[in-house]
Structure 1
Amino acid sequence: MFYNFPLDKTRRVVFKTFFGIGCFFCLFLGLNSAFGQNGAKLLKGKVQNVDNDVRDVLVMNLNSKETTITDSLGLFSIEVKVGDVLRLTAVQYLTKDVSITEPILNLDVITIDLIENVINLKDVTVTPYNLTGEIDRDLDRLGLEPVVTSGSLALPNADLDVMSQSERLLLEADRGKYVNFYVIALTINTHKIMNQLSGRTKSFEDMVLRDEIMDVEREVITKFSKKTLAESFDIPEANVDGFLTYCMSQNDFTSLSETANTTEIWKYLEKRSVEFKSSEMVKE
């Protein structure tokens, strides 16, 4: 009886240890089995076209709504499973859908060819100069002299950006310092002060900001159509204008013009779409 108690206690400890290990493996195998049944896999792909650039093509899984954008070489990777459909969209290409099958899922890299979005127009002749639309022929026929610009004349500051009307008005209203000190005199810039007090300067500042916001909005629409935004972010197409208005009202919206990076713009829109839908501004 002296050795029975320690022996029983040892058996219980060993049994609990093996039982815990067994439960862990059962749980692990169950999770692994569930993952295997899901069949999800990271698919690598390459978009190509003979003549055009293949960067910044939007790749969207229509089933999972997961999205990605091709890099400078046209490469991308996205999680898919059998039965999913990938949609590739870009302004310069026709939209293409790719159904994921078992053979495609087993490929190391899937190659996708995109077709240029070419709009064929009927031949027309513009009178009174009988223009044909062929630049070389029309230039020879018209006999135009080369256009003289500040750049062709190598004038100073020829490469400076031309200011918009709003920017010129703001510069005129807010020009100079409030007070100028000279050797024997002091002058006050009453023009600048009056514009500040009357709100004229603030009005022009708002105009410049509005122009910048509209420029960014045009850039977004150029890169991604409203239909693409609606499908990608699960927003009714009728509400896309409201979504863009919501983005434009954010203080950091104009910063997108400085990055000019398609991936960053897409991530920004994706983040704002979540906020937009949760704000109860979307109407079905």
Structure 2
Amino acid sequence: MIRIIGIIFLLLSFSTSSQERNIQIKGKLIDSLGIVKDANIININSNQGTSSSNIGTFEIYASQGDSLQISTIQHQTKIVRIGQLNYHNKILLIQLELKTYTLDSFDLKKHNLTGRLSIDLKSVPKRKKDSILKLTMDFSNINFNHIDIRIDENVRATPPKVRVDPNTKFEGFNFMALFSSIKSKRSRINKEKKLYNTNFQKKIMDELGEAYFFKNLKIPKDKYQHFLAYCNLLEIEKLYYNGRLLEVIQILEDKSITYHKSIRKKDSK
């Protein structure tokens, strides 16, 4: 009886530890053309499934060592194993290969060509448009030695040229309008740049999640924007919009270490 109770206890402990190891993995699917949406993702080990969103992202629960099967109609089926690095980062970037279709055979319509150019040219039907164009562009009947006096009459019939005073070239030019236009353009560029940065902060938070920044990287919530600006010296914003998400994650993790050191130095002062 004691042995049976011990076995049950071990099984319960093993089940609990397995559930603890089962975490939510985030991923993004891409191919040579861009993002991949509406793809089927199945955890082969747990038989749980999901599909990618309109921006190619997905979320699925998995443990270290599980295998994910990704399939679409347009792509070759791919199986990805959750390794230690993926399990630690809780994020995947998966590239799929497009399918190529090869035709087995095709029908060649019958023709009357012999293979000899001199004979085949005679059997090719003439196009009416080509014949009309040839007649139109034929100048063989024109006598170029004949002088047409009507040309001289046309030249003399044109009105005389009016001379313009060069000193009035810049008369009426509005320098204030030009300055106002440049100032307005700079203001619009700065506004767009600020909006671009704001969108980046929101998008990277939506994609990686609050837990990644505030728990994994241990960034204080009130210093989130300051931390992104600190990391943006390495142009993570440009890398993110170019689809190089893994490089962005690596920079965030590396810079979080030095960022915490700089915060501690300021607090000690």
Q: TM-score range by the shorter chain?
A: 0.3 to 0.5
* TM, length-normalised to structure 1: 0.34
Considering fraction of residues, name the structure with more helix. Answer: 2
**Structure having the higher Rg:** 2
